[in-house]
Structure 1
Amino acid sequence: MLAAGLVALASRTAAQVASVCPTTDVCFKLNIPENTASSGNGDIFFQLSAPATYNWVALGQGSSMSGANIFVVYTAGNGNVTISPRLGTGHSMPQFNSDAQVALLEGSGVSNGKMVANVRCSSCNSWSGGSASFSGSNGNWIYATKQSGGAQDTTSQSANIDEHDNQSTFQWSYANAKGGNSVNPLVNAGSSGSGNTSGGSGGATTSCVPRQAGAVGTGTATKGTTTGGSSRATSTKSVDQDDDSSYGRSTTSPSGWTRPTARPTGNSWEGNDKRASLEERQTINYCDENDPSNTGFTPVASDGGDNSQKMLIAHGVLGALAFVIFFPAGAIAIRLASFTGVVWFHAAFQAFAYIVYIASFGLGVYIAGEEDYLSEAHPIIGIVVLVVLFFQPILGLLHHVMYKKHHARTAWSHLHLWLGRVAITLGIINGGLGLQLANDAPRAGYIAYGVIAGVVWLVWVAAIALGEKRRTRAAKDAHLANAGHPAAGHYAPKENGT
């Protein structure tokens, strides 16, 4: 019995827990067990800690949101938290990943204004869209928070979450995270080594622990574990309960603690006297007792997310200008205007609109490639429209030449007219699909685009109908007057009746 206790205590002591705190309120911890570190794959343990008033906090593996293995934590209500594994897909809400093998462990819950999730991940070495090895010296991680909006208070792992208001990519050093084989090195344990994140040159370190007041949580190794309970401890000292006979899982609750919402797995204790003989009390170095200016967090390319967002906004604005303003305006002018040279004004204006769209298209292709969107309807329609519009100047020139020759519309005329109408309509619709794909615009943005684009499209269609009516009337008047067809072949109804 004494030998078993010494073995368990040695395992606990050897566990390395690295900590990083991007802000004074948000901290993450990581342990890579010895077996995982030596083989490169296996279980890892990490902790997320943030104010319980936050809408959510997330930690993810990867260098960008696209393709990242993300773990979102939010309050579940009644002092519990929910862990929601998700797959990053770029500038859209990450979707729940039912294949992830994660479990909340003891210590998870809400206490003293903090939500804490102690997580065991058994599938973090590989996921759909990426992989990671834990035998190296460091790894790329991302984090994000949503401070506003209030607590989620839901047990749904697929709950809708609003866009983050704070995020960054960072490189986490594994040097101080490797060691030990405890089944829960995070509960009530100070960092064995100071965590380090770097942007290539290293950063400051921290070995503090977010205050969690001995919260007790749930834990199983199977999929679908969603919530962890919380309770309040009566001491700021930790109680080590690891034991070989129970695989380190305590199945009894110390006096004054409430039971977890789901009992941890493992063999039961034979008696409280065994547990008492293995207690190890140690003083915890809480983060709120330290100088918050030195948190050991140095982001990698911290403005990358901002640049990506700027490109996304520029893509949307340029595309909207092209199809909601410029293309319809040029088409309306050729239908209703009658000044000399209106045809060349139309051609120049549509060419300008096409250049604006090319700029939007270039940004869109880059974003789609980075975020793996090329198979979505929005970029596919964008490519089709670009190709169609490329031939419009050629078709327009053929229409103009053939009209001058035959004094009537030809097949080239109808092809030019109808391809243009289809392209503009598709472009307007595709703008809405782009907003839907980005999934980060406020509801008012969707409504505003829909109303403005809809009104412009109706005005454009009305201009087409009015222009055709004028053309028909002009042709009839010309026939009655036995007048010849104009040589210019212009579209404008008052001049030529096209």
Structure 2
Amino acid sequence: MHVWLSSVLVTAGFFCATAIAVSSTNSSGFVASDGSLSFALNVPQDNGSDELYFSLVGDSSCSWLAFGMGSQKMKDSLTFMVYSDASGKNVTVSPRLVYDHSEPTYTNNVTITVLPGTKIDGNTTTLNAKCSNCRAWKGGSVDPTNTAANLIFATGPSGNLNTNSLTADIKRHASYGVFQMDLTKSVGAAGVPNITTSNSAGVKELKDQADHDVSAPLHACLMIIAFVGLMPLGVLILRVLNSPKWHGINQTLSFLLALIGAFLGLSVGTMYNRTKGFNTAHQIIGIIVIMMMIGQFVLGFMHHRMYKKTQAPTKLSPYHIWLGRVVIPAGIINGFLGFPLALVPKYDFALLALVLLLIIVLLPFAFWRYRRNIQKAKTVNSNSVTGYQSRPWENQTAQNDINLNQMNYPPHYGKQGYGR
């Protein structure tokens, strides 16, 4: 009984001390103009301290919330990312460093202690925390005497990460901004700051804007148009319409779109930790497919030029055809690897629907061509077996004799249209 009572008193004392600290702690506070995020910072006045206390409140519908210190740009800033933990009822806090305009990278040099009051409740995510060894880092620092310190903030797109991983992959921010804070107003007794009572003097928002991730969706769209749309269409143009000219135009367009899409994909790959090494299956297969596509395009161009001169099939034709038979399905399959890598696996179902539609459209043409080839083969075989020509008089070689002039048609055969 005595032990239980002592535990209760200690716990109550801790929460009372925390409550008193929250109410009496000096802090600077910031609220984003769009209301997506609120932030307060306390800098302990102890000169020997390397700690900071902060509070963050934001919309729980965002897949992540973040603020950064040390710069008005992402580069060289120390960023704290907050997202839902595995239970979905509390948060994971990941301290990360940013070395360029790309996804922040987790650092284990900063220690985070999550404090009471942290939770995900309905539409609101609340974080109260203390960080240790976070006043200086490679590329930046926090100066308590700075009256115009630059800080950054951002919110992720809608969704829930639901993970305890400190290195969790994230999507690009949906909104971001920059604000200035007078850090001298935040120096005081150590404790969790209260956002509603924090000092807003010297706090100024410099930027708050929505962000649209265009590169990744455009990469996906261009590749789908090229591999699911134009390249199969090029096969139909050549095999059904028998038009080498429009086949060449179509294949040139699909090649250019795929090339632009590839460069976009390479650019997007530099933005995220999971793709910076260019060692994922999607990236490796993609590079191989593009190299094969370049080879196929060059072979097709050379074959066309040689054919125009000779009017005869070339040795390059089979290689061009077989590369196409590999490139198209390989490019489509690689698309199914790309969406999970972009953290949007649900779009695999949309791609599957497009592929099934393509198969439904192509099957009748494939069947028609198959029947046509069989009919041609039967006709050729029939002529080769009988050796009989139904109208021998129509053969131009039969109208001339050796060393003689043009022979006349036999009686009645000279009448136009006879027997036809």
Aligned to 2:155: 144
Q: Do the aligned residues in 2 keep the contact of 1:83 with 1:117 (CA within 8 Å)?
A: no
Q: Do the aligned residues in 1 keep the contact of 2:40 with 2:195 (CA within 8 Å)?
A: no
1:175 is aligned to 2:172? no
- Cα deviation per residue 1:74-109 (whole Å; 9 max; x = unaligned)? 59999x74334276999x999998886211124445
State the percentage of identical aligned residues: 20
For normalisation by structure 1, the TM-score amounts to: 0.55
> Hey, which of these two has a bigger chunk of helix by percent?
2
Q: Secondary structure at the match of 1:370?
A: coil
- Cα deviation per residue 1:183-238 (whole Å; 9 max; x = unaligned)? 42426993356362443xxxxxxxxxxxxxxxxxxxxxxxxxxxxxxxxxxxxxxx
With over 3 angstroms needed to count, the CA separation of the structure-2 counterparts of 1:28 and 1:358, relative to structure 1, is same
| Corresponding pairs, count | 352
Aligned to 1:27: 38
With over 3 angstroms needed to count, the CA separation of the structure-2 counterparts of 1:93 and 1:138, relative to structure 1, is closer
| Distance (whole Å) between structure 2 residues aligned to residue 99 and residue 465 of structure 1 | 65
Aligned to 2:263: 362
Aligned to 1:453: 355
Q: Secondary structure at the match of 2:176?
A: strand
Q: Do the aligned residues in 2 keep the contact of 1:54 with 1:145 (CA within 8 Å)?
A: no
With over 3 angstroms needed to count, the CA separation of the structure-2 counterparts of 1:184 and 1:333, relative to structure 1, is same
> Structure 1 residue 351: deviation in Å?
0.5
Q: Do the aligned residues in 1 keep the contact of 2:224 with 2:332 (CA within 8 Å)?
A: yes
Unaligned stretches of 5+ residues in structure 1: 1-10, 200-297, 484-498
Q: Secondary structure at the match of 2:183?
A: coil
Aligned positions of 1:81-100 closer than 5 A: 81-85=90-94
The partner residue of 1:438 within 320, 342, 366 is 342
The partner residue of 1:133 within 128, 134, 141 is 141
1:118 is aligned to 2:22? no
Q: Do the aligned residues in 2 keep the contact of 1:84 with 1:96 (CA within 8 Å)?
A: no
Aligned positions of 1:379-394 closer than 5 A: 379-394=283-298
Aligned positions of 1:361-440 closer than 5 A: 361-371=262-272, 373-374=275-276, 375=278, 376-400=280-304, 401=306, 410=315, 412-440=316-344
- 2:176 corresponds to which letter in structure 1? S
Aligned to 1:225: none
> Structure 1 residue 353: deviation in Å?
1.4
- 2:198 corresponds to which letter in structure 1? S
| Distance (whole Å) between structure 1 residues aligned to residue 121 and residue 380 of structure 2 | 86
CA root-mean-square deviation: 5.0
The partner residue of 1:45 within 53, 69, 77 is 53
Q: Secondary structure at the match of 1:194?
A: coil
| Distance (whole Å) between structure 2 residues aligned to residue 403 and residue 334 of structure 1 | 16
- 1:447 corresponds to which letter in structure 2? F
| Distance (whole Å) between structure 2 residues aligned to residue 131 and residue 461 of structure 1 | 60
- 1:157 corresponds to which letter in structure 2? N
> Structure 1 residue 123: deviation in Å?
5.6
| Distance (whole Å) between structure 2 residues aligned to residue 432 and residue 76 of structure 1 | 27
- 1:395 corresponds to which letter in structure 2? L
| Distance (whole Å) between structure 2 residues aligned to residue 477 and residue 382 of structure 1 | 44
For normalisation by structure 2, the TM-score amounts to: 0.64
With over 3 angstroms needed to count, the CA separation of the structure-2 counterparts of 1:188 and 1:65, relative to structure 1, is closer
With over 3 angstroms needed to count, the CA separation of the structure-2 counterparts of 1:335 and 1:198, relative to structure 1, is same
